[in-house]
Amino acid sequence: MEDRQTTPDAAQKARNLPTVSAILDDGTIVETLYDAAARRTAFAVWQDGTWREEAMITMDTGERLVPYSASNNLLKHGVVLLPSRPEEYGTDADLVGEIRAFLHRYVDLNFVYEQIAAYYVLFAWVYDRFNELPYLRVRGDAGSGKSRFLLTVGSLCYKPIFASGASTVSPIFRLIDTFRGTLVVDESDWKQTDERAEVVKILNNGNGKGFPVLRSEANGKGEFNPRAYVVFGPKLIATRGFFDDHALESRCLTEDMGQRPLRDGIPINLPEVAADEARVLRNKLLLFRFRTFHRCRVNEDLVDRTIEPRLNQVFVPLLSVIDDSAIRVELRELARRYQHDLVTERGMSTEAQVMDVINELLLLSDEPRLSIKEIAQQFTERYGDEYERKVTNKWIGGILRKRLGLKPQRVHGTFVIPLEDLPRLNRLRDKFGLATAEVAAAPAANEGTSGDVG
């Protein structure tokens, strides 16, 4: 049998563990610093309320944590951006103000989304204290400002990984697993169907802890063994349209780009000074992470019952990391305004039109169980002229099932919305801004033979 301890070099290599970040057993926080001008890397170590710089960290096991080399291509070419040193930022309000000013200077977003993006940057630096998170997504055609959004917001996030330079999707799994940072990705960079499917797999698995992506890896002997890659983390996404996957679509806080003329003062080309400004902000955000990390946790008392669960999923963690009461009040108002924007946008959608018809039928009828046929008939009368296609029972049933999450069933030969779907139906009415009295389920009768529509 080969003796793996025979050479000093082998023993030396076995003790050195290249590390980007770590939380040690005693709560010490370790983060890699990268000074491009000096061409050096080191560790910033936060312990007992202060930080120090270390070239390496020796563990009780004898292993040594060492930072990635400054000559690493990912660092040299800006594929991954790191802070250069922790810097003082004052109060949380001061830091949020600087982030807002930077974003406002270089990217054109509507007021509400600009503020949300600023808070998302803050959240990204302590995301690993939470179990779930949403994504920031911009949507629009070429030339609408999507790339500027990715570059500007991405440059401030925690260990941003700019994946646009990857020739294939394969390295992205490894990059996220290694750096555990913020993925910055433009969907249009992957035009092949299989590559886009792989990106969607990362996005589907990456908003909650405990859902790694499995990949087959060669072990050097011609054998393949599955390996789990952690893809959990914040993500900035640019797309031209909607995701086919409704669940993935619902995980995104979205801004439609290019809907108005470019705001005066936005530079056509991003100036070189922006990179220096972003580095200074990353330095301040590193100190924010050090000071904030261990006290971050979801505060369920901050849940706002007037907004939908998906928005609470992002805003409650954001509120949980901010101590400033004035900022919390402002952030709550932003959440409500974003909810209003979503309801307004939904008011123009097919789903909203179907829910409008359902809502009217529920108000006019004492029978809480509606048939798909009568929904289709009422939809045709009210909205049929807006569609080139014929409105059929099957089409309406598909909208109820695939887009609204209802489960039509056959009862005595007629497809209906079953009584057990009424709680969800009432939630959908709130979601689409149809503020009415709640419909209570009548005592269940014999439901007959159940089955899906179409």
Q: Predicted confidence band at 4 (pLDDT cuts at 50, 70, 90)?
A: very low
3-state SS record for 200-241: HHHHHHCCECCCCEEEEEECCCCCEEEEEECCCCCEEEEECC
Question: In angstroms, rounded to a whole number, what is the distance separating the alpha carbons of residues 103 and 318?
Answer: 18
In angstroms, the CA 240 to CA 186 distance is 9
Q: What percent of the chain has pLDDT over 70?
A: 87
Question: Which one of 297, 322, 346 terminates a domain?
Answer: 346
C-alpha 346 chain-centroid distance: 21
Same domain for 116 and 51: no
Residues 357 and 394 in one domain: yes
In the prediction, which pLDDT does 452 show?
A: 45
d(CA 117, CA 273): 21
Q: How confident is the model at residue 175 (pLDDT cuts 50, 70, 90)?
A: very high
pLDDT at residue 130 in the model: 92
State which residues form the domain around 26.
Answer: 8-74
| Domain assignment of residue 441, yes or no | no
Residues 266 and 365 in one domain: no
Given pLDDT bands bounded at 50, 70 and 90, which one contains residue 380?
Answer: very high
CA 103 to chain centre: 18
Whether 28 contacts 47, CB under 8 Å:
yes
Q: Is 233 exposed, middle or buried (0-12, 13-18, 19+ CB in 10 A)?
A: buried
Give the residue with greater pLDDT, 447 vs 289.
Answer: 289
Q: pLDDT value at position 37?
A: 92
- Judged by DSSP in three states, 178 sits in helix
DSSP calls for 115-126: HHHHHHHHHHTT
Quote the pLDDT of residue 451.
46
pLDDT of 438: 53
Whether 165 has a pLDDT exceeding 80, the answer reads no
394 occurs within a structural domain: yes
Same domain, 207 and 228: yes
User: How many domains does the structure of the chain reveal?
Assistant: 3
Does 304 lie in the same domain as 362? no
Of 7-11, 291-295, 305-309, the poorest mean pLDDT is in 7-11
Between 9-18, 76-85, 104-113, 204-213, the lowest mean confidence (pLDDT) is in 9-18
Residue range 294-330, pLDDT digits in tens = 988 888 888 887 777 777 877 888 788 777 777 788 7
Same domain, 195 and 48: no
Determine the pLDDT at residue 453. 46
* Choice among 92-101, 197-206, 324-333, 420-429 with the minimum mean pLDDT: 324-333
SS3 90: coil
Domain membership flag for residue 444: no
- Looking at residue 335, which CATH number applies to its domain? 3.40.50.300
- What Cα–Cα distance (Å) separates residue 217 from each residue in 17, 82, 221, 223, 229? 21, 29, 11, 8, 11
For the CA atoms of 318, 324, 330, 331, the dihedral, rounded to the nearest 10 degrees, stands at 0
Question: How far is CA 307 from each of CA 121, 285, 303, 362, 407, rounded to the nearest angstrom?
Answer: 22, 29, 9, 23, 24
pLDDT (tens digit, 9 = 90+) per residue, 135-144? 999 988 888 8
Are 408 and 265 found together in one domain? no
Q: Residue 274: helix, strand or coil by DSSP?
A: helix
Asked if 286 and 378 sit in the same domain, the reply is no
Answer yes or no: are the C-beta atoms of 345 and 358 closer than 8 Å: no
